[in-house]
């Protein structure tokens, strides 16, 4: 049995990654991590052989709780072969008393760093040939959006973290890569569009249409497409890609 740990697995992209891993091979076990137990259990029930998989309740921004949850799961005894750091929060931040800077950086950047570091001993203890880490960054690591300074900074930080971990872990043959999705049809993307609509006082449908008009392929990606890319990186079909960042954005940014 090989174990895969996916953060933010109770919805959107994380759910799709968990489904992809569990449905690809009956010997795959998925640990689904997040804060919302009901949503994680609901995804667990969707997975083939649901009893084989496990739910871990933890908040990435709370070091003590995260450490406890990882220790309780005894991942070091579970042949952990991959860590998918997908959890994150979106939305705006504005300097002042209600600035969300700390919340967003603490979750997306410091939380991802902490999550990976807490799980690394377990990843190292696996004897499998293919071991890997994937971080879910964003197109906003590469382009600026007004009002999104914390989100953009957190996601850009993940790219530096990816390269640094790739260099650190290369001697142990552990791969570390990042992906940068553009718009993906999930709760987070819809919440972002609602925020744009509210700020600009335009109807949601108009804002969505205007945003899609800026994307060469004129659409959002499906979470399942992101899961396919992640699985390519972690599934063991290659052991040559490390320290890289993959864009999947319908042509919204051509680098
Ligand atoms: N959708 C897009 O257009 C898009 C584009 C580029 C990048 N991304 C990135 O893709 C990733 C997944 O986002 P999504 O679109 O699938 O949105 P989503 O459905 O809102 O998923 C985010 C997940 O992160 C988890 N999470 C948030 N804060 C957490 C915390 N402090 N501790 C533990 N888990 C936490 C949430 O679970 P709980 O509430 O259960 O904790 C949730 O399942 C995010 O990192 C996001 O930044 C999304």
Please list the pLDDT of the chain residue by residue as tens digits (255 residues).
999 999 999 999 999 999 999 999 999 999 999 999 999 999 999 999 999 999 999 999 999 999 999 999 999 999 999 999 999 999 999 999 999 999 999 999 999 999 999 999 999 999 999 999 999 999 999 999 999 999 999 999 999 999 999 999 999 999 999 999 999 999 999 999 999 999 988 999 999 999 999 999 999 999 999 999 999 999 999 999 999 999 999 999 998
d(CA 247, CA 252) in angstroms, rounded, equals 10
* Nearest-10 crossing angle of helices 187-200, 204-213: 110
HSE-up of residue 101 (Cα within 13 Å, Cβ side)? 7
CB 15 within 8 A of CB 40: no
* Cβ of 87 below 6 Å from ligand 1: yes
The pLDDT assigned to 187 comes to 93
Non-local (6+) Cβ contacts of 150 within 8 A are 93, 99, 100, 101, 103, 104, 105
From 35, 68, 88, give the residue whose CB has the most ligand 1 atoms within 8 Å, as the site to mutate. Answer: 88
Strand partners, 34: 57
The pLDDT assigned to 255 comes to 82
Q: How far is CA 238 from CA 66, 128, 131, 164, in A?
A: 31, 13, 11, 20
* Cβ of 39 below 6 Å from ligand 1: yes
Tokens for 74, please give them. 């005894």
The candidate with the shortest Cα–Cα distance to 141, out of 127, 155, 129, 160, is: 155
The pLDDT assigned to 53 comes to 98
Place of tokens 């003590």: 64
Non-local (6+) Cβ contacts of 97 within 8 A are none
The candidate with the shortest Cα–Cα distance to 139, out of 192, 208, 209, is: 192
Nearest atom of ligand 1 to the alpha carbon of 59: 32
Tokens for 204, please give them. 């949601």
* Cβ of 132 below 6 Å from ligand 1: no
d(CA 100, CA 213) in angstroms, rounded, equals 29
d(CA 56, CA 8) in angstroms, rounded, equals 10
Give the Å distance between the CA of 169 and the centre of ligand 1.
26
The pLDDT assigned to 193 comes to 94
The pLDDT assigned to 201 comes to 84
pLDDT by residue (tens digit) across 4-53? 999 999 999 999 999 999 999 999 999 999 999 999 999 999 999 999 99
- The DSSP code sequence of 90-134 is -----SSTT--HHHHIIIIIIHHHHHHHHHHHHHHH---S-EEEE
Give the Å distance between the CA of 128 and the centre of ligand 1.
29
Give the Å distance between the CA of 88 and the centre of ligand 1.
4
From 5, 7, 10, 12, give the residue whose CB has the most ligand 1 atoms within 8 Å, as the site to mutate. Answer: 12
Give the Å distance between the CA of 171 and the centre of ligand 1.
31
Nearest atom of ligand 1 to the alpha carbon of 39: 40
Closest residue by Cα to atom 19, ligand 1, is 12
d(CA 19, CA 17) in angstroms, rounded, equals 5
């Amino acid at each position: 049995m090989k174990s895969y740990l996916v953060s933010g697995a109770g919805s959107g992209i994380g759910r799709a990654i968990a489904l992809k891993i569990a449905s690809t091979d009956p010997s795959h076990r998925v640990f689904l991590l997040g804060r919302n137990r009901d949503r994680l259990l609901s995804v667990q029930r969707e997975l083939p052989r649901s009893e084989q998989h496990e739910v871990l309740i933890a908040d990435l921004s709370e070091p003590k709780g995260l450490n406890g949850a990882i220790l309780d799961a005894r991942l070091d005894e579970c042949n952990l072969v991959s860590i998918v750091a997908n959890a994150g929060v979106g939305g705006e931040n504005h300097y002042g008393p209600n600035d969300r800077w700390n919340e967003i950086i603490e979750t997306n950047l410091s939380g991802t760093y902490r999550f990976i570091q807490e799980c690394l001993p377990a990843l190292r203890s696996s004897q499998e040939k293919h071991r890997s880490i994937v971080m879910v960054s964003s197109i906003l690591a590469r382009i600026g959006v007004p009002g999104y300074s914390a989100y953009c900074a957190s996601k850009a930080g993940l790219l530096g973290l990816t390269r640094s971990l790739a260099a650190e872990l290369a001697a142990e043959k552990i791969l570390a890569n990042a992906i940068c999705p553009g718009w993906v049809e999930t709760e987070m993307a819809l919440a972002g569009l609602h925020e744009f609509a509210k700020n600009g006082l335009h109807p949601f449908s108009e804002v969505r249409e205007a945003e899609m008009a800026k994307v060469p392929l004129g659409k959002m990606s499906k979470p399942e497409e992101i899961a396919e890319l992640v699985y390519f990186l972690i599934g063991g079909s290659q052991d040559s890609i490390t320290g890289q960042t993959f864009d999947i954005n319908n042509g919204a940014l051509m680098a």
